[in-house]
């Protein structure tokens, strides 16, 4: 694939999070004209800046200039700051969000302000500043959402797709499952409990989730930006679906051999806004899917002639195709070891 990012100006919102910071590191390899890292996490911006090594001591400003990177402190809730951040930008990757279901359940207005109003502000700023491409990082929790997090991301996703109307900016989305090993996710939680010799806590024995690595997330974000026409919802195909109980059992057995861990698995009950499974697309969406490489593409909102010309083939799937693919414990163990997660 040609380096379409060369000499492009790219803005990454939520640039200090797990996905955002990994994206920034990948973009630094692409010879961009400039990378703007937009975050309301001052300490996160500083820590990210410290990952950029120099042969000699240079000032913060010199480091940014030399590495074609800018660390922008601000919040997507503020339209004026979004206007500043998107000025002279070619590509926006919108990863900023409130993502933890229990936190969003307890703070619904704040979730709405960040996930929806923040996205609305960034869309308006991108249109005004004539950004060429805008990719919204969505989640499988938008499919038939029951949580505040899922509902706020769903209306934001819908707004992004509708924004293609009467706009020179191309707006698309990409949906993820859970990023395995990311901050606040279940894998580091389990490993932390094991290292502290505590019981492994699971909300429900039937809980299952789609997982992907940060590297796979980043590579598919970049692929989606490259091929997007505007109006697509990209979904990464063939994501492994783990039962969380199986993940806990694999870790328990692995660390029993490694460090003699022998604590119990306990069940704490499903939390507000949580359900036992997620789906990558709804039964309404599965009727018009296209496939490109390992991406599944929902195409309801773009010109069908352009889609057929671009993606060549229609993907025939059943709405329940992904509901029955549960990874084995053997697969989970091999997956963790292969990706250096244990």
Alpha-carbon distance of 90 to 131, in angstroms, equals 5
Instruction: Choose among 114, 127, 131: nearest CA to 78.
Output: 114
Query: What's the token pair of residue 243?
Result: 């039962």
Strands 208-212 and 241-243, by their bridges, are antiparallel
Strands, sheet with 133-139, edge to edge from the N-terminal-most edge strand: 69-73, 34-39, 9-13, 91-94, 133-139, 170-176, 233-236, 295-298, 289-292
Query: What's the token pair of residue 47?
Result: 């820590």
Q: Are 303 and 167 spatial neighbours (Cβ–Cβ below 8 Å)?
A: no
To which H or E segment does residue 235 belong?
strand 233-236
Phi, psi of 166 (to 5 degrees): 55, 45
CA 5 remoteness from chain centre? 20
Told to judge if 141 belongs to the known catalytic residues of this protein, a careful annotator would answer yes
- Of 8, 120, 141, 333, which one is the catalytic site residue? 141
Q: Are 262 and 256 spatial neighbours (Cβ–Cβ below 8 Å)?
A: yes
* CB contact set of 89 (below 8 Å; sequence gap of 6+): 9, 10, 11, 36, 126, 129, 131
CA distances from 63 to 47, 53, 54, 103, 264 (A): 14, 9, 8, 36, 49
Alpha-carbon distance of 197 to 10, in angstroms, equals 44
List residues with catalytic annotation: 141
């Amino acid at each position: 694939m040609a380096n379409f990012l060369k000499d492009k100006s790219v803005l990454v919102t939520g640039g200090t999070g797990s996905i955002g910071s990994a994206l920034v590191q990948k973009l630094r390899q692409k010879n961009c004209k400039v990378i703007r890292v937009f975050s309301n996490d001052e300490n996160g911006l500083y820590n990210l800046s410290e990952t950029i090594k120099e042969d000699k001591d240079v000032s913060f400003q010199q480091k940014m200039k030399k590495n074609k990177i800018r660390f922008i402190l601000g919040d997507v809730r503020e339209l004026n700051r979004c206007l500043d951040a998107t000025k002279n930008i070619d590509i926006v990757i919108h990863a900023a969000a409130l993502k933890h279901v229990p936190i969003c359940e307890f703070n619904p207005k704040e979730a709405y302000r960040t996930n929806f109003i923040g996205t609305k502000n960034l869309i308006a700023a991108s249109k005004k500043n004539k950004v060429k491409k805008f990719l919204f990082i969505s989640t499988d929790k938008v499919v038939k959402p029951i949580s505040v997090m899922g509902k706020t991301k769903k209306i934001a996703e819908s707004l992004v797709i509708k924004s293609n109307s009467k706009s020179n900016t191309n707006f698309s989305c990409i949906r993820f499952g859970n990023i395995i090993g990311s901050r606040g996710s279940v894998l580091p939680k389990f490993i932390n409990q094991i290292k502290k010799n505590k019981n492994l806590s699971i909300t429900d024995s039937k809980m299952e989730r789609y997982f992907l690595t940060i590297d796979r997330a980043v590579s598919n974000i970049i692929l989606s930006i490259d091929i997007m026409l505007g109006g697509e919802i990209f979904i990464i195909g063939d994501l492994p679906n783990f039962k969380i109980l199986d993940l806990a059992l694999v870790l328990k057995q692995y660390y029993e051999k490694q460090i003699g861990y022998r604590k119990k698995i306990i069940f704490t009950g499903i939390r507000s806004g949580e359900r036992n499974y997620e789906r990558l697309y709804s039964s309404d969406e599965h009727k018009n899917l296209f496939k490109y490489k390992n991406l599944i593409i929902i195409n309801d909102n773009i010109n069908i002639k352009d889609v057929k010309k671009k993606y060549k083939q229609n993907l025939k799937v059943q709405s329940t195709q992904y509901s029955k693919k549960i990874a084995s414990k053997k697969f989970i163990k091999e997956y963790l070891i292969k990706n250096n997660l244990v």
